[in-house]
Amino acid sequence: MTISIRSATPDDLPLIADLIRALADYEKLLHEVRFDNEVLRAKLFGARPYAEVIIGEVHGAAQGFALFFHNFSTFEGKPGVYLEDLFVRPEARGSGLGKALLARLAAIAVERDCARLEWSVLDWNEPAIGFYKKLGARMMDEWTVMRVDGAALVQLGAEAGNAV
């Protein structure tokens, strides 16, 4: 089996959009996908990229991706890599592509002197949880993800204007 991992280019935008939708469909969240292709292009490949993408190929055919960005650990005093999305098409699962994508991300984290590689996983996704544990990942059960978005984000941001 020939597996290769490469950095995405702007020409990969239709592929990235397709893989994002496939991931959302798998996670039963396709109804929440609402990105605009040109905004996504600007945020990934514009003057100030906010995230990076690597593409996984099996026998030269794109079968998966990982989208990631840097965060920062104040305790470590170093950046980290946060994996936002990892997806391998069903027909390529079991090929080693998922492990190859995560191994490349780990290598990127080491190359960039990062303290850690981390991500979130849906609690019902037992196949993914088992896969991650086999690779040495550990659950951070004492942490709960918090989020502010939509109208609440706008409202909270408006509060900044009221600060004295």
Kindly provide the residue ranges of all beta strands, DSSP E only, lying in the chain, ordered along the sequence: 3-7, 52-58, 61-73, 78-88, 117-119
For 7, residues 6+ apart whose C-beta sits below 8 A from its C-beta are: 52, 53, 54, 55
Indicate if 132 belongs to the active site.
yes
DSSP line for 30-52:
GGG----HHHHHHHHHSSS-S-E
- Residues linked to residue 103 through DSSP beta bridges, in sequence order: none
Catalytic residue chosen out of the listed positions 26, 50, 82, 132: 132
| Cα angle, residue 70 at apex, residues 103 and 101 outer, rounded to 5° | 20
CA pair distance 16, 70, nearest whole angstrom: 19
CA pair distance 7, 62, nearest whole angstrom: 12
Kindly list the catalytic residues: 132
